[in-house]
Chains A and B, each alone.
Chain A
Amino acid sequence: MSKPEDSTLRHITATVVAIAIAATFTTACGSSNKQELSEKAAAIVTGECRDQRDETVTIYSGRTEYLIRPIIEAFACETGIDVRVRWGNSTDLAILIGEEGNATEADVFLSRSPGPVGFLESRGLLGTIDDEVLELVDQQNRASSGSWIGFSGRKRVLVRNIDLVSDSELPESVFDLTEDRYRGRVGIPATNGSFEDWFTVFRDEHGGEVATQWLHDMVDNDAEYYPNNRAIVEAAGRGEIDMGLVNHYYQYQEAAAAGDAHRAENHDFGPNDIGSLLIITAATILGATEERSAAHQLLAYLLSPKAQLYFTNQTFEYPLGADIKPNPILPALTALEIGSVDFDSLGGGFEETERIIRESGILAG
Chain B
Amino acid sequence: MTAAAFTVGVLFAFPALYLIWRNITSDSDPLGLLTSSRTLEPLRRSVVLAALVSASTAVLGTSLAWLTARTDLPGRRMWRVLLPLPLAYPTFVGAAAFIRTLNPGGLANDLLQAVGINHTFELRGLFGAWLVLTLFTYPYVYLPVAARLRSLPGSLEESARLLGDSGFSTFRRVVLPQTASAITSGALLVGLYTISDFGAVQLMRYDTLTRAIWTTRLADQPTSFALSAILLVLAVVVVGGERLGSRRLSERPPARASTSRLFTTPLDRWRLPGLALVVGTIGLALVAPAAALADWGISGLVRDATGGRSLAINASDIVGPAWNTVWVSVVAACVAVVAVLPTAVLLARYHSRVGPITGNVIISTFAMPGLLIALAMFFWTLRSSWAAEHLRGTLIVLVFAYMVRFGAQALGAAQIAVAAVPDRLHDSARVLGAGSFRRLATVDAPLVTPGLVAGGGLVLLSTMKELPITLLVAPFDFPTLTTKIFQSFEDAFVAEAGLLAMVLVILSGALTWFLVVRRADHLD
Within 8 A of B (CB), among A261-309: 261
B488 within 8 Å of A (CB atoms): yes
Cβ contacts A to B, 14 pairs, < 8 Å: A4-B522, A9-B446, A19-B326, A19-B330, A23-B327, A58-B476, A64-B490, A66-B491, A89-B490, A191-B214, A239-B105, A250-B492, A257-B309, A257-B493
Please provide the chain A residues from 326 to 365 with a CB less than 8 Å away from any CB of chain B in the complex: 350-351, 353-355, 357-359, 363-365
- Is B432 located at the chain interface by the 8 A CB criterion? no
Closest to B468 in A: A92
Query: Is A145 an interface position by the 8 A CB rule?
Result: no
Q: Is the CB of B323 within 8 A of A351?
A: no
Residue pair A227, B202 in contact (C-beta under 8 Å): yes
Main secondary structure on B side of the interface with A: helix
List chain B residues, Cβ under 8 A from A205. Answer: none
Q: How far in angstroms is the closest Cβ of chain A from B18?
A: 9
B260 to chain A, nearest CB (A): 12
Shortest distance between the CB of B519 and any CB in chain A (Å): 5
Chain A neighbourhood of B483, CB < 8 A: 87
Q: For residue A115, which residues in chain B have a CB less than 8 angstroms away from its CB?
A: 218-219
- B8 on the interface (CB 8 Å rule)? no
Residues in chain A near residue B453, CB distance under 8 A: 8, 12
Shortest beta-carbon distance, A193 to chain B, in Å? 9
Q: A9-B445, A227-B202, A250-B492 known; 12 other A-B pairs, CB under 8 Å?
A: A5-B445, A66-B496, A105-B393, A115-B219, A230-B489, A239-B104, A240-B103, A253-B491, A350-B218, A353-B219, A355-B219, A364-B206
Give 1 or 0 for each of A67-93: 1 = CB within 8 Å of chain B CB. 100000000000000001111110111
Report A205 CB to chain B, min CB distance, Å. Answer: 19
Chain B residues with CB below 8 A from A103, complex form: 382, 388
Residues of chain B lying within 8 A (CB to CB) of residue A110:
none
* A29 sits at the interface (CB 8 A): no
Interface residue tally for chain A (C-beta within 8 Å): 77
A253 and B492 form a contact (CB under 8 A): yes
Residues in B357-391 with C-beta less than 8 Å from chain A: 371, 374-375, 378-379, 382, 388
B393 touches A257 (CB 8 A): no
Where chain A touches its partner, the secondary structure class is: helix
Q: Which residues does A use to contact B, with CB under 8 Å?
A: 1-2, 4-9, 11-12, 15-16, 19-20, 22-23, 26, 30-31, 58, 64-67, 84-89, 91-96, 98-101, 103, 105, 115-116, 119, 191, 196, 225, 227, 230-231, 233-235, 237-240, 250, 253-254, 256-259, 261, 350-351, 353-355, 357-359, 363-365
Residue interface mask B446-490, A partner, CB < 8 A = 1 = 100100010000000000000010011000110000010011111
Kindly identify which residue among A9, A99, A256, A363 contacts B449, using a CB–CB cutoff of 8 Å.
A9
* Contact across chains for B472 and A94 when beta carbons are under 8 A apart: no
User: Bound complex: CA of A20 vs CA of B477, how far in Å?
Assistant: 18
**Residues in A neighbouring B433, C-beta threshold 8 A:** none
Shortest C-beta distance, B258 to chain A (Å), equals 6
